[in-house]
Structure 1
Amino acid sequence: MLNWEERRQLVKIANLYYNDGWTQEQIAKKFGVSRPVISKSLQKAKENGIIEVFIKDETVHTVELEQQLERKFGLEDAVVVPISGQTPDIVQQSVGQAGAYYLSKNLKSVNSLGVSWGSTLATLVREYPFELREGIKVIPLEGGMGRKRVEIHSNQLAYELAKKMGGSCSYLYAPATVETEELRERLMVMEDINEVLHEGEQVDIALIGIGNPYKDSTLAELGYLQEDDLEELRKMGVVGDMGFRFFNRVGEPVNTFNKNIIGISLEQIKQIKKVITVVAGSHKAECVLAALKGDYINVLIIDEQTAIELLRENV
Structure 2
Amino acid sequence: MELDREQDVLRAASMYYLQDLKMEVIARHLGTSRSTVSRLIKRARETGLVEITLRPASTRAPGLGRSVSAAFGVDAYVVPVPDSSSHIERLDQVSMTAAKLLTSWFDSDMVLGIAWGTTLASVSRYLVPKPTRGAAVVQLNGAANMRTSGVDYASDLISSFGTAFGAAVHHFSVPAFFDFSDTKAAMWRERSVRRVLDMQRRADIAVFSVGAVAGAVPSHVYSAGYLDDADVRVLHDEGVVGDVCTVFLRADGSWQDVPLNARATGPTPTELQRLPRRVCVVAGDNKVAPLLAALRAGVVTDLVVDEVTAGALLEAADPGPVRRTRARTATTGA
The TM-score normalised by the length of structure 2 is 0.72
Q: Which residue of 1 aligns with 2:206?
A: 206
Determine the structure 1 residue equivalent to 2:25. Answer: none
In the alignment, which of 280, 284, 288 is matched to residue 291 of structure 2?
288
Compute the RMSD of aligned alpha carbons.
2.1
2:74–2:301 contact (8 Å) kept in structure 1: yes
Structure 1 67/152 Cα, relative in aligned 2: closer, same or farther at 3 Å? Answer: farther
Q: Find 1:258's aligned residue among 258, 261, 276.
A: 261
The 1:305–1:103 alpha-carbon spacing in structure 2 relative to 1, beyond 3 Å, is same
- Report sequence identity in percent: 24
Partner AA of 1:97 in structure 2? M
Equivalent in the alignment of 1:246: 248
Greater radius of gyration (CA): 1
What is the CA-CA distance between 1:167 and the residue it aligns to?
1.3
Query: Which residue pairs with 2:234 in the alignment?
Result: 232
Q: CA, structure 1 residues 126+245, in 2 after alignment: closer, same or farther (shift >3 Å)?
A: same
Structure having greater relative contact order (Cα 8 Å, sep ≥ 6): 2
User: Are the aligned partners of 1:67 and 1:78 in contact in 2 as well (CA < 8 Å)?
Assistant: no
Give the superposition deviation at 1:313. 5.3
In the TM superposition, 1:1-315 aligns within 5 A as 57-58=56-57, 60-107=59-106, 111-145=110-144, 147=148, 152-153=153-154, 155-215=155-215, 216-253=218-255, 254-312=257-315, 314=317
97-106 or 250-259: bigger deviation: 250-259
Aligned length: 259
CA displacement 1:79-101 (0-9 Å, x = unmatched): 33424312222222221111101
State the Cα distance separating 1:107 from its structure 2 match. Answer: 2.4
Q: Using the TM superposition, give the Cα deviation of residue 217 of structure 1 relative to its aligned residue in structure 2, in angstroms.
A: 3.0
Distance 1:81 1:258 in 2: 35
Q: Distance in 2 between matches of 1:208 and 1:306?
A: 17
Structure 1 runs (4+) deviating above 4 angstroms are: 148-152
> C-alpha separation between the residues in 2 aligned to 1:151 and 1:102?
27
TM-score, scaled relative to structure 1: 0.76
CA distance in 2, matches of 1:65, 1:109: 33
Between 268-277 and 130-139, report the one with greater CA deviation: 130-139
Aligned mates of 2:317, 2:180 — CA distance in 1: 38
Q: Could you report, residue by residue, the CA deviation over 1:211-263 in whole angstroms, capped at 9, with x for unpaired residues? A: 11233132221111233322221211211101210011111114411111223
Alpha carbons of structure 1 residues 83 and 133: separation in structure 2 relative to 1, 3 Å: farther
